Structures are given as structure tokens and as C-alpha cells.
Structure 1
Amino acid sequence: MFDYIIVGGGSAGCVLANRLSADPAVRVCLLEAGPADSSPFIRVPLGIVGLMMSKKLNWQYFTEPQQQLGGRRLFWPRGKTLGGSSSTNAMIYTRGNRADYDHWAALGNPGWGFDDVLPLFLRSEHHEDGASPLHGSGGPLNVAPLRSPNVLSRAFIDAAMQAGFPFNADFNGPEQEGVNCYEVTQKNGERWSAARAYLHPALARPNLTVLTGALAERVLFDGKRATGVAYRRGGTVASIAASREVLLAGGAINSPQLLMLSGIGEPQELARHGIALRHALPGVGRNLQDHLDVLVVQRCRLPVSLGLSLRTLPAQVKRLYDYIVHRSGALTSNSAEAGGFVKSRAQQELPDIQFHFTPARLDGHARTLRSAAFTLWGHGYALHACPLRPASRGRITLRSADPAAAPLIDPNYLSERADLEAMIDCVRAARRVLAAAPFDPFRGAEIFPGSEVQSDAEIEAFIRRKAETIYHPVGTCKMGADPMAVVDHRLKVHGVEGLRVIDASIMPTLIAGNTNAPTMMIAEKGADMILSTLGAAHQDAAVAAPQH
């Protein structure tokens, strides 16, 4: 028997486990389907390339065939280990735009405006440059500048400025617009995931139990009240009870999947798989949003990129030495070193494009031996560009009633024509940057899209052939009060008791930027909501106790 069961040991789950177990009277159990985060590929920042190929540490999901992308099934990597995707991502620390959170509040979610959530970002953060009105100091999540940015990343910043985009000293400062190197969740040149920041310091607490290799199969109920979780571990099915609440923190894919497996969702969808209806909630799995991304890739004439070549093989020994001895050099790279938030047109009120610059050739996520070889062997650089506020909406549905079966993922990319037009703007903006003079000493032939691709129609065909996710799925258990909302503004699942969803799936709209820091903020806020309820319960119990 536990007070709280947390399902999912990713970015949100690690925050919840730490904050809730800080009270020694509260018993907490964290279930994680993947293994512990002990792989050196996790700790070494540039190990991200190996993590893409790992079947042990990566769920390696694929979407359903995408009608607007030539019927392709897109690869969706998600972390499958303690720390979740914070243990496998590019470690970029951005919060999004102030307007994103104010929009959430305007949609009927009180307490979620930017001024409401900023204190939670600050509490979470230890900014190595110190505290300020927009940065925290002393929090568990270490935020640092890149230790050894590549010379090509500096060229990107100079080129973007020459192309007309402003410099920004701090993407999380007063203004989001501009270009620079990203700040990263690293400490001493190592990845600083949610697991290292939040979970590892709490593991010695006797009131916190962490079970890895534990796949949640369904939430258990007594009527409409969640009372526990059934899970499979090592071939054995077991169950644990929660006296207070069950907290789903599986992310935009796994949280809606578990709700449906537990009988909460659209009735016809559940009936199709023979799942008894517990509560009809048609929004479960709907409202899926993601940033679709396009790459412009260039050969580099000088051997200065992160790639390998015969000329640079001797230098690899120094790279390894620099990392082992000084925690510096190329191995501290997060791969997506620089970037920014820019406007496709001057009259835009807010930035509508995000850049991620990689000082290496890149194709196919480096997820196969062939694409990894393309990325690692030979010199080049790549500029990602994605529209920040896509209009297309997809959904997560069940493949079967088997909890071990991956759900059906249909992001429905480019179903809205405006998204395709925005992607064309992205390609043109990226090319404008890469054509600027600071790249003159480095620029070789354009690999993708290729110099023959120039007209809107040709760029459109390229996008349909090559666009990929930039790893920001959200929204499938959205927060709100409308008929398609899954949780209320206190993250409680509508229509049942003792059950909350606390992860990126609750975002009603996709924030304009990377989603990892906002996900941890959501968990900080969720923990505060739970603890305030717990405090009120303790107070009520004290008042009701007989006086002597």
C-alpha cells in the first residue's frame, strides 16, 4: 500500500517522485517500464547518436502511414529508462514563449499563465550564471552554456545575423526572438537529466520505492475511484494499491494508452478492443500535436565538423582525452548546438520558426547503421527548421488490448494546408542563413534538398519526402473544461476520482519551443497541487481529532 503511485519514470515522473517523497510520512511508488539510467551513452552528451539506435533505452515508436508525407511511417524515438526522454534528448533548455502559457489560461485553465508558472521554472532551475528575475539558482536542474561549441555553430550565429535575424543573449530572457547557442541541461560536461537532477538524490529515502522493468497494464478502480495499478515485471503480473492517488506520467503516447487500457476513453474505441467501459471520455488520445521538422544539409569543405574522416582520425584520441580528463571537447556537444526563434515575415507578432543547427551531416535521425554512418563519416552541417504553431491535429489510439503492444500513432501531419506553407517558409529561411558569407569558408554542395530544388512545388515535394519529427509530441490528455478535455486545471481526470495526468500530454496547445523544461514545470505544479490537497487533509484530520 502506497499513498501515491506514479506511472512513468520520465521527466515528469522523476520530479513527482522527488517532491512527493520529500515528506517522510508519504509513501510513494514509481513504476518505470525501462531499465535504470546507467548507460554511458546517457551520461556522455554526444552519446545521443547511440541512444537513437538502442532498443533497450528507446521505445522506437513509428507512426501510422502519413497521407501527406507519401505514406511514410515516421520514426518517433522516446526515452525508455529512468529520466525518460530527458535521458535521451538533445538537452536543450527552453521554456517557450510567454504567450503560450497566457493562451492556456485564456482557454479556461486558471493558474497556468506565464506569471503563474514562472516561479516553478525558477524553483526547478540552477542557472550557472546565477539567479535573476528570469532564472533560478539552487534548484535541482542544472542549466549551463555549452562547454565546447563547434566553430560551425559560431558561423551559424554570424550567418543568421547577417541574414537579418537578431542575436539573443538568452532565449529564456525578456524576449524569445533571436539566434544563439542553446543552453543545456548539463553539469560538468555530463547530461543532467530529470533522473540525475530529481530522482537520484531521493533514491535513499525509505518511503520511495522505484520499480524498473515494470510495465503498467491498467489502472485499478473501485467504482469511479482509482485505487491502484496492475503491472507486469519479469513475466509476472502484480498489483499495488494507492490510498490517495494514481498519477500518470507516461507522456503524450503512454498516458492516453493506459487510460484507454483502463476503460477510460471513447466508448466505440474501447469496445473495438473488448475493453469494458469505465468512464466515457472522448478526448483521450485526441488533440495530438508535434513539431514537424525539415533539414537543409550542406557538405563542409574543411574537417571541422563533428563528423569523422581519415584526416581527423588522429584527433579522435584527443577528443576522448579532453572528455575523460577535462569534460570538454566534442563529446560534450548536444549535437543541436545553436539555433533560435525567428519570424518568417517581419509583420509576425511572435516568432513562428525554430532553428536547430547541427555541426554534422544528418539524415534519418542517425537511427540505423546506414544513417549513423552518413552522420558520423564525412564533414557537413545541417540546419533544422520547424513551424512553431502547427494547426494539424492527430490522435493516439489502441492497436490492441495488449498493454505490451505499441499504440497507433497518427499525428496527421500537414492535414492543414497552412502547415505545409509554413514548412516551405522554413526551407527558404534556412537556406537564406546557410547562404550567408560566414559560411563561405566551409560551404560545399547542398545535399538536401539539393540545388535543383527551387520552386515552391519542388520544395513541397522535398518536404513530403523528407520531413521528420523534432520530438515534441503533446496534447493527448489535454487540460480544460470543454467536452474534449481529459483533465481539469488541477490535472484531475474528468469524471473519476483519485487519478491525475501530469506530463506533456496535458498541454492544450503546443508551446513554441522544446518541451522538456515545460514538462518538468508541469510536474512541479502538479506536485504543488497534490501537496496542497494533502496539507489540507492533514489539517482537517488534526481538527477532527479528539482533544485531550
Structure 2
Amino acid sequence: MQRQFDYIVVGAGSAGCAVANRLSQDGCHTVALLEAGSRDLNPWIHVPVGYFKTMGNPSTDWCYKTKSCSGLNGRSIPWPRGKVLGGSSSINGLLYVRGQAQDFDDWANLGNEGWEWDNVLPYFKRSEDWQGQSSPLRGQGGPLTVSKTRVSRPVVDAWLQAAKNCGYPENKDYNGADQEGVGLFQLTAKRGRRCSSAVAYLNPARSRSNLTILTNSCVEKLLFEGKRATGVQLADGLLKANKEVIVCAGAIGSPQLLMVSGIGSVDQLNPHKIKIVKELPGVGQNLQDHLQARPVFKCAASTINTEISNWFKQGLIGLQYVLNRTGPMTMAASLGTGFVKSHLSPDRPDIQFHIQPFSADSPAEGTHKFDAFTASVLQMRPQSSGHLSIVSDRFADHPDIHPNYLATELDQQTIVAGIKMARQIAKQAPLNSLITQEFSPGESVGEESDADILDWARETATTIYHPTGTCKMGQDDMAVVDSALKVHGIEGLRVADASIMPIITSGNTNAPAIMIGEKVAAMILQESVNV
């Protein structure tokens, strides 16, 4: 095997696949893309509803778990992350959300030049092949197919109308000029199949002689000569990077790899006798995630719960998918959505709804046996932040994850406000005529005090799979990378994935992660021309 490349990309996830494609596109540079997981051959990866089969599956999921969290009444919860070509874009819910323009302007206002909305929009557009109505704000012809849902359910349509009756505006394109409003989710799907980052960026590039894709190749450490990254260590030897190493291992993997390689805080590295290459105390800090509370309402309308209640019904659904690529198997993790303002955020939406025509205690356990829908609610810009800490000098040993959910009063008030908004919508026509019972948290919860609602959230809320921020971009003492995503104080090393977000984006994070990959590749190529 070739052991020397111009660029080594560590991690074939949402960002890494984009980076590898763009760096190898002109044929001028040799690129190695390294993925710890296997190829994306599991058929459930490519069926949109297959996340029920891939999350929690060790062959496709890192299967992380958090440490006990005081904000969740001491609970530890699973944190799925993709361990396969495409990374989490191969096991996620397919939901495509750019975020708010203000998110990126906020990044730039922190001193990150070039990351304001006007500068990142071209990279969102470059990545997209939007199947909806043409717009100057949407991209067409890009590698990533973004489409409208192929599924409808009466209970979701009723929820959308009830939300409008509550005064929330309708929005047919929340990735357009304004995010605010309610509507149907957009998906990373093409003709009823998942369009992961691997499908979008790697499948068209596989035949390039200058691109080497290595699966089942876990990077154990980064290699350095002085303050310059020179390559990576694998179990079966070393790979050398003539120009740069770009770490795209995600919000957990990227900081962990930096730390076991000698980049991080003295307090983290010294107990494990790791030689310090560069002291950067921010590595693994600033961990942000979206916490979802999941109100469930029993209903009289047909939902996925009972539509898959026996083998015969499942067979019909499977046949519908095989013949027409339609039906429930094309459904993403949620069908309806809303980006709305609580009383705590009068200027811009701070609450996101995920409306699901099914209900379950967890994906692995399957749906409930009765008809119900879920009105999942989350706070889009939490103040609370946590951290990661390594447990050894080995990348194979999962780090300790401390999410620190609901640590601030604003976060506590916002999750309660969101749950109360979900209840308010449920009381509006036409949705109220379909609901037979508030199953969870139950109508009695919160009758006497909002504290009971908060306690229910602490007991039941879980991640919606958006960890970010652990190698944050910036210029302050806790920043890990600069605005070109170069690791501070190290030559030839960048980080490019959701870990570089200084502030979590407003909504699902897969689309911004892909944009980050597009943007860093463009910066690298431009610098190579200028040398």
C-alpha cells in the first residue's frame, strides 16, 4: 500500500467525505481518506428508516454513552455516532437543516473572519442538489441530494394546521430566506434512498487514481516533527502527509485524537504520561448538544405504531418500498417540524419541534403498541456546555463524556416553555379532535408547578444526536483552531467537522458539518495555489 500522500483526511464522516472529494477533484494532489469503520454495505444504511437498525449496532455505531449527568437526575444516556463510511450521515435521521443566518454571523463576530452567513452560503449551495423550487438561496447540481418527504400522515398534517392556528407561520422552505415557521422536513434522500455524505461525495470519486479510501483503519495517533504534523499512526504502520493532516473524526473523535497525540491541557495529558506537543486547554471543552424532550400523545389517527404491528403489514410496507420507493420505509426520523420563538427569545426562534407519526421509548426498543405521535421539542441554542476527558493514552478507549445538560436557568426555563408550547398546539383544532390522551408526560404533570415539568424532562429527555464544539474555532485562550481551521501552534494540521463550531447551530447539524468540509477544502486548495 502507498504510504505517502499529500493530504491525509482522518474520518470519512459528513465533513471528511466532502474534504476528500474536493481535495482530489483536480487530480493534482494525492489524498488518503481513513475510516475506522467499515464500508457502507449494510443495506439498512441506505433505507431511510434504517436508523432503527443501525443506531446501537456496534458494526455501524461507536455506541458511546455519557457519564451520569446531574441535569438528567444522574442518568447516563447513549450517544450514537456513525462508525462507517459516511459517519453519522449514514445512521442519522436524514434531516437537512442549515441553521439561522445569525448563527454564522455570531461565529464571525467572535473573531472568526470569513464565517459570516454571506461567506458560508456559497458552500451550502455548492454542496446541494435541491429538488424543490429554484431559489437564489438554494443550490442545484451539487453532490448532496436534498429532497422533500415522500410520506404524509394525517396526524402530522393536523399538527401543522393546529400550529398555524396557534399563530405560528407556515414556512415551505426553512432553509431559505427565514427559518421561522412550521412545515415539513427536508431530507438527504434521493428517490427513496439515503444520500449520505459517502453516497454523495465518495461514490463519484472512487475511480480517481489519486484518492485512496481505507476502511477499518483506525488512527491511533497523529505524528509530529517538532510542531509540525507529519502523518498518522495506524495499527499496521505509518502514513506520511507531505502537506497536511485534516482531522474530521467528529465532536468526540477529533478532540480525543488530539489529546492522545499530545495536544490538549496538561491536566488531561499528564495523568496518562502523554508527551505534550502543544498545550491547548480548550481541547475537549465547550461540548454542546441539543437535548430533546419527547411529549407523546395517543391518537385516533393511524400511525406507524400500528401500521407495522404484524408481519403481514410489514411485508406490504416492504413491498411498497421495493416496487415504488415510497411508503413508511422512506420516512426520515421526523416528518413535520417547527422553528418557533418562545417568550424567552422574542427576536429569533429558539425552539425546534420534530413531529413524528410514531412513538417509542428508544429506537432500539421499537414503537409502542398503540397509535400515537411524538412532538419532540428542543432548545436550539443552549447555554450549558460540557466536556470530554480521556481515560487513557489509547484512542480505542472511549473518553468520558460529560454533557452537562440543563445546567443554566435559561436552559431549564426554555425546555419547560417548549413542552408547554407542545401542549398548547395539541389543544388546537384540528389536532385536538384526533388526540385521545396525553400519554407522556401526562396531563397531571405540571398542574401544580413548572418544576414538575422540568423534573419530567430531567427523567426522560435524551440527546437528538448533535454534539459539537469540542475543538472550537476562535482566538481566545480556549480556542483550538483558527478561522482557517488550523490547530493553534501546529503546522500542517487542521480540524474540520462539527467540533469546530464555537456555538452550536440552530437545528440539526449534519448540513453545517458538510458545509464546513466544503469550506475547508476550498481554503486548502486556495492556499496551495498561493504557495
TM-score (norm 2): 0.97
> Are the aligned partners of 1:297 and 1:382 in contact in 2 as well (CA < 8 Å)?
yes
State the alpha-carbon separation in 1 of the partners of residues 66 and 524 from structure 2: 34
Q: Equivalent residue of 2:528, what SS?
A: helix
Q: Equivalent residue of 1:142, what SS?
A: strand
State the alpha-carbon separation in 2 of the partners of residues 376 and 532 from structure 1: 53
State the alpha-carbon separation in 1 of the partners of residues 432 and 491 from structure 2: 62
CA distance 1:522–1:311, change in 2 (3 Å): closer
Per-residue deviation, 1:346: 8.7
1:542 is aligned to none
Per-residue CA distance 1:470-517 (angstroms, 9 max, x = gap): 111111100011111000000000001000000010010011111000
Q: Equivalent residue of 2:6, what SS?
A: strand
1:444 is aligned to 436
Q: Any residues of structure 2 matched to 1:60-139 within 5 Å, and which?
A: 60-139=63-142
Q: Equivalent residue of 1:180, what SS?
A: strand
Letter in 2 for 1:479: M
Q: Any residues of structure 2 matched to 1:192-231 within 5 Å, and which?
A: 192-231=195-234
Which 5+ residue runs of structure 1 have no aligned equivalent?
A: 538-548
Which 5+ residue runs of structure 2 have no aligned equivalent?
A: none
1:353 counterpart = 2:351: yes
- Cα RMSD (Å) of the superposition? 1.4
2:478 is aligned to 484
Q: Any residues of structure 2 matched to 1:133-152 within 5 Å, and which?
A: 133-152=136-155
> Are the aligned partners of 1:309 and 1:377 in contact in 2 as well (CA < 8 Å)?
no
1:269 is aligned to 268
Per-residue CA distance 1:33-78 (angstroms, 9 max, x = gap): 1111111111111111111231110111111110121110111111
1:319 is aligned to 317
Per-residue CA distance 1:323-362 (angstroms, 9 max, x = gap): 1111011110003111110011297100010000111012
1:8 counterpart = 2:11: yes
1:472 counterpart = 2:470: no
Percent of paired sites with the same residue: 46
Letter in 2 for 1:439: L
1:398 is aligned to 390
State the alpha-carbon separation in 2 of the partners of residues 490 and 478 from structure 1: 12
1:387 counterpart = 2:385: no
Which deviates more, 491-500 or 142-151? 142-151
1:169 counterpart = 2:172: yes
1:419 counterpart = 2:418: no
State the alpha-carbon separation in 1 of the partners of residues 345 and 493 from structure 2: 44
> Are the aligned partners of 1:225 and 1:497 in contact in 2 as well (CA < 8 Å)?
yes
1:287 is aligned to 286
Match for 1:189 among 187, 192, 202? 192
Q: Equivalent residue of 2:171, what SS?
A: coil
Q: Equivalent residue of 1:361, what SS?
A: coil
> Are the aligned partners of 1:149 and 1:333 in contact in 2 as well (CA < 8 Å)?
no
TM-score (norm 1): 0.94
Per-residue CA distance 1:234-253 (angstroms, 9 max, x = gap): xxx31100000000001110
Per-residue deviation, 1:23: 2.2
2:527 is aligned to 533
> Are the aligned partners of 2:309 and 2:369 in contact in 1 as well (CA < 8 Å)?
no
Per-residue deviation, 1:135: 0.5
Q: Equivalent residue of 2:218, what SS?
A: strand
State the alpha-carbon separation in 2 of the partners of residues 100 and 382 from structure 1: 27
CA distance 1:310–1:343, change in 2 (3 Å): closer
> Are the aligned partners of 1:217 and 1:403 in contact in 2 as well (CA < 8 Å)?
yes
State the alpha-carbon separation in 2 of the partners of residues 531 and 353 from structure 1: 38
Per-residue deviation, 1:93: 1.0
CA distance 1:376–1:26, change in 2 (3 Å): farther
> Are the aligned partners of 2:381 and 2:505 in contact in 1 as well (CA < 8 Å)?
yes
Match for 1:408 among 400, 406, 427? 400
> Are the aligned partners of 1:306 and 1:376 in contact in 2 as well (CA < 8 Å)?
no
Q: Equivalent residue of 1:20, what SS?
A: helix
> Are the aligned partners of 1:492 and 1:499 in contact in 2 as well (CA < 8 Å)?
yes
